[in-house]
A and B are shown apart, each in its own frame.
Chain A
Amino acid sequence: MSILTLRPWLGAALAVSAVALTTGFAANQLADYRPGDEKLGGDTTVYETGRNAFSLPAANMHTDRQTQFFVGNSFFKKAWVEAPSSTTARDGLGPHFIARSCGACHALDGRGAPPAFDHQLQAEQPMALLFRLSVAGKPEPVYGGQFNNDAIPGVKPEGKVQISYREQPGQFPDGEAYSLRAPSYAFTELGYGPMHAKVEVSPRIAPQVIGLGLLEAIREQDILAIAQQQKTGPDGVSGRPNYVHDAYAGKKLIGRFGWKANVATVAHQSAGAFLGDIGITSPKFRHEECMPAQTDCLRAPSGGQPEIPANKMDAVIFYSRTLAVPAQRNADSEQVRRGQWLFNQARCTSCHVANYTTGVLAGVPEVSKQRIRPYTDLLLHDMGEGLADHRPDGLADGREWKTPPLWGIGLFNDVNEHTHYLHDGRARNLTEAILWHGGEAEAAKQRFVQFNKADRDALLSFLNSL
Chain B
Amino acid sequence: MFRHTLLGFALSAAVLSSSAFAGPVSREDVARHYATVVEASYTDTLTSARLLRDAIHAFVATPSEATLTSARQAWLAAREPYGQTEAFRFYSGPIDDAKGPEGRINAWPLDEAYIDSVKGKANSGIINNRKIVLSKDKLAALNERGGEENISTGYHAIEFLLWGQDFDANGPGKRSWNDFVDGQAANADRRRDYLKIIADLLVEDIASVAKAWQANSANYRAKFEKDPDALRKMMVGIGVLSRAELAGERMEVALDSKNQEDEHSCFSDNTHRDILTNALGIRNVWLGEYQRLDGSVLKGPSLRDLVADKDAKAADKVSADMDATLAAAQGIKAPFDQEIVQADGRKRVQATINALKKQANSLVEAAKALGIRKLNVKG
Q: Is B111 among interface residues, defined by CB-CB distance under 8 A? A: yes
Chain A residues with Cβ below 8 Å from B120 are 85
A103–B147 contact, CB under 8 A? yes
Which of A46, A55, A63 contacts B357, CB < 8 Å?
A: A63
* A104 at interface by CB-CB < 8 Å: yes
Closest to B123 in A: A153
Residue B253 is within 8 A (CB to CB) of chain A in the complex: yes
B256 interface neighbour in A56, A71, A103, A104, Cβ under 8 Å = A71
Q: Shortest distance in angstroms between B33's beta carbon and chain A's nearest beta carbon?
A: 26
Contact at A87–B249, with CB atoms within 8 Å?
A: no
Task: Decide: B144 and A70 in contact? CB cutoff 8 A.
Answer: no
Which residue of chain A is the closest to B120 with respect to CB atoms?
A: A85
| In the assembled complex, B113 has its CB within 8 A of some CB on chain A | yes
Kindly identify which residue among B165, B259, B357 contacts A89, using a CB–CB cutoff of 8 Å: B259
CA distance A254 to B111 in the complex (A): 39
Known: A74-B262, A79-B149, A100-B147. A59 touches B92 (CB 8 A): no
Q: Please, what's the 1-or-0 string for A63-102, where 1 marks a CB less than 8 Å from any CB in chain B? A: 1001101110110011101000111111000000001110
Picked from B109, B148, B253, B258, the residue with its CB within 8 Å of the CB of A70 is: B253
Contacts of A99 in B (CB 8 A): 146-147
Say if the beta carbon of A353 comes within 8 Å of chain B: no
A107 at the B interface (CB under 8 A): yes
Number of residues on chain A facing chain B (CB within 8 A)? 38
Q: Report A277 CB to chain B, min CB distance, Å.
A: 12
| A101-B378 contact given A50-B97, A71-B253, CB 8 Å threshold | no
* A435 CB-CB contact with B under 8 Å: no
| Nearest CB in chain B: distance from A420 CB, A | 16
B54 contacts A by Cβ under 8 Å: no
- Chain B residues positioned under 8 Å from A85 (CB to CB): 120
Does A414 belong to the interface (CB within 8 Å)? yes
The reply on B22 being an interface residue by CB < 8 A is no
Q: Is the CB of A86 within 8 A of B167?
A: yes
Q: In the complex the two chains form, is A66's CB within 8 Å of B147's CB?
A: no
- A-contact 0/1 string along B220-250, CB 8 Å cutoff: 0000000000000000000000011000110
The smallest C-beta distance from B249 to any residue of chain A, in angstroms, reads: 6
> Does B297 have its Cβ within 8 Å of any Cβ on chain A?
no
Decide: A70 and B252 in contact? CB cutoff 8 A.
Answer: yes
- Does B96 have its Cβ within 8 Å of any Cβ on chain A? yes
> How many angstroms between the C-alpha atoms of A88 and B147 in the bound complex?
20
B261, CB-defined interface residue at 8 Å: yes
B249 touches A73 (CB 8 A): yes
Tell me the complex Cα distance, A87–B150, Å: 16
CA distance A88 to B252 in the complex (A): 19
Q: How far is the CA of A108 from the CA of B149 in the complex (A)?
A: 11
User: How far does the alpha carbon of A61 sit from the alpha carbon of B257 in the complex, in Å?
Assistant: 22
Residue of B97, B119, B167, B257 near A74 (CB, 8 A) is B257
Contact present for A67 and B147 (CB under 8 Å): no
A52 contact set on B, CB distance < 8 A: 379
Contacts A74-B257, A89-B259: A57 and B378 contacting too (C-beta < 8 A)? Answer: yes
Judge whether B113 and A63 touch: CB under 8 Å: no
Contacts of B109 in A (CB 8 A): 78
**B208 part of interface (Cβ distance < 8 Å):** no
**CB contact under 8 A between A74 and B253, given known A46-B376, A89-B259:** yes
The verdict on A360 contacting chain B, using a C-beta distance below 8 Å, is no
Q: For residue B146, give the distance in angstroms from its CB to the closest CB of chain A.
A: 5
Does residue B361 face the partner (Cβ distance < 8 Å to A)?
A: yes
Q: Quick check: A55 and B148 within 8 Å, CB to CB?
A: no
A87 touches B261 (CB 8 A): yes
Find chain A residues with CB under 8 A from B92 CB: 49-50
Selected from A67, A86, A100, the residue in CB contact (under 8 A) with B252 is A67
Residues of A within 8 A of B243 (CB): 63, 66
Asked if B148 and A86 sit within 8 Å, CB to CB, the answer is: no
Closest to A413 in B: B98
Q: Whole-angstrom distance between the alpha carbons of A131 and B2 in the complex?
A: 56
Please provide the chain B residues from 254 to 268 with a CB less than 8 Å away from any CB of chain A in the complex.
256-259, 261-262
Verify A100–B111 contact, CB threshold 8 A.
yes
A88 to B262, alpha carbons, bound, how many Å?
A: 12
Check A142 for interface membership: any CB of B closer than 8 A: no
**Chain A, 248-304, CB within 8 A of any chain B CB:** none
- Cβ of B98 and Cβ of A107 under 8 Å apart? no
Report the Cα distance A99→B150, complex, angstroms: 12
Query: Could you tell me the distance in whole angstroms from the C-beta of A180 to the nearest C-beta in chain B?
Result: 28
A107, B147: Cα distance in complex, Å: 6
Q: For the complex, give the distance between the alpha carbons of A49 and B92 in Å.
A: 9
Closest to A124 in B: B146
With contacts A56-B378, A70-B249 known, is A103 near B113, CB below 8 A? no
Minimum C-beta distance from A125 to chain B (A)? 10
- Distance in angstroms from A38 CB to nearest chain B CB is 15
Q: Tell me the complex Cα distance, A59–B373, Å.
A: 13
State whether B261 touches A70 (Cβ < 8 A).
no
Which B residue's beta carbon lies closest to that of A125?
B146
| Chain A hits for B259, CB < 8 A | 87-90
Chain B neighbourhood of A104, CB < 8 A: 146-148, 150
Closest Cβ–Cβ distance, residue A267 to chain B (whole Å): 20
Most chain B beta carbons < 10 A, residue from A50, A74, A99: A74
What is the CA–CA distance of A104 and B261 in the complex, to the nearest angstrom? Answer: 18
Query: Which residue in chain A gives the minimum CB-CB distance to B165?
Result: A86
B361: A residues at CB distance < 8 A: 63
The answer on a CB contact under 8 Å between B244 and A79 is no
Return A280 CB to nearest CB of chain B, in Å: 15
Q: Is A395 an interface residue (CB 8 A)?
A: no
Residues of B within 8 A of A (CB): 92, 96-98, 103, 109, 111, 113, 119-120, 144, 146-150, 165, 167, 243-244, 248-249, 252-253, 256-259, 261-262, 357, 360-361, 376, 378-379
Please give 15 more A-B residue pairs, beta carbons under 8 A apart, in addition to A66-B378, A101-B147. A46-B376, A51-B98, A55-B379, A56-B379, A57-B244, A57-B378, A66-B243, A67-B248, A69-B248, A71-B253, A77-B147, A77-B149, A85-B120, A100-B149, A107-B148
